[in-house]
Structures are given as structure tokens and as C-alpha cells.
Amino acid sequence: MSDISGTWLGTYWQQGIPTRFEATLIQSGNTLTGSILDDSYLGEAQLTGEVNGRNVSFLKRYFTTSPDSVRYTGTISTDEDYIQGHWTIDMFNSGPWEARRSGENLCMSVQTAQEKLTSMVIRKK
């Protein structure tokens, strides 16, 4: 089963117009919870859903700006660093979305790699 816990940066497109977002996902088994902050007037939302294998689905509910829930479905890449899918409000409002793990996680990976390299260099001396 995929593990998508962490911070993700993404974009969804509505009528061809992109909106960026930041999502914090918390996965426990198949259960998914978290929050999303849109880079638009819509603001912050909570999410609840599930992960099944490499498939993810969740409902996004805005705290104050919109009474409509948004259903997201997507496929998780095999390296678990990318999700691509489709969102739907109703039959007239839908579009594609994608997200990548945040650069914060990438920075931690780079730091870990540098630490391993440094300790290998020290051991060789």
C-alpha cells in the first residue's frame, strides 16, 4: 500500500485556469485526513478519504467560502512522490489536478544523502 503522508504542493485546473494549493496529508492504514490551503479566495479546507493501493480518493470541504464538497480521485506514482487525477463538484464543474511531495521533504532527503556521504568520507580517512 502507498504511504502519502506529508506535505504536497499541487495545482488544479478549473475551466483551464490553474490554482495552486498546499496539502498536508495524514494516512493511517487506508484512512486519509488532512488539510488543504488554496492559493485563491477559497482558502483552507479539510479533507477525508482513503488510499487503496495506488489509488486515492477524498472529499475536500472548505471551512468558510463554499458549501459544496469537492471529490478528488487520483493515481499515486510508483515512487509515491506524484499524484495525478480528476476533481468533481457536479457534472458542470470538474477538471484535472496533480500534486508533488513538497520540497521540504526533498531538502531532508538531500541533507540525509550529504550526511551519509560525509560519514563515508570520514571513515575512509
Q: Which domain holds residue 69?
A: 6-124
54: domain CATH number is 2.40.128.120
Residue 78 C-alpha cell reads as 510508483
Q: What percent of the chain has pLDDT over 70?
A: 82
The Cα–Cα gap between 10 and 98 comes to: 5
For residues 103 and 55, what is the distance between their CA atoms, to the nearest angstrom? 23
Cβ neighbors of 85 (< 8 A, separation 6 or more) are 56, 72, 73, 74, 75, 96, 97, 98
State pLDDT tens for residues 66-121: 888 999 999 999 999 999 999 999 888 999 999 999 865 444 444 555 565 555 55
Query: What is the rounded CA–CA span in Å between residue 104 and residue 17?
Result: 26
| Residue 1 counted as domain residue | no
Domain membership flag for residue 50? yes
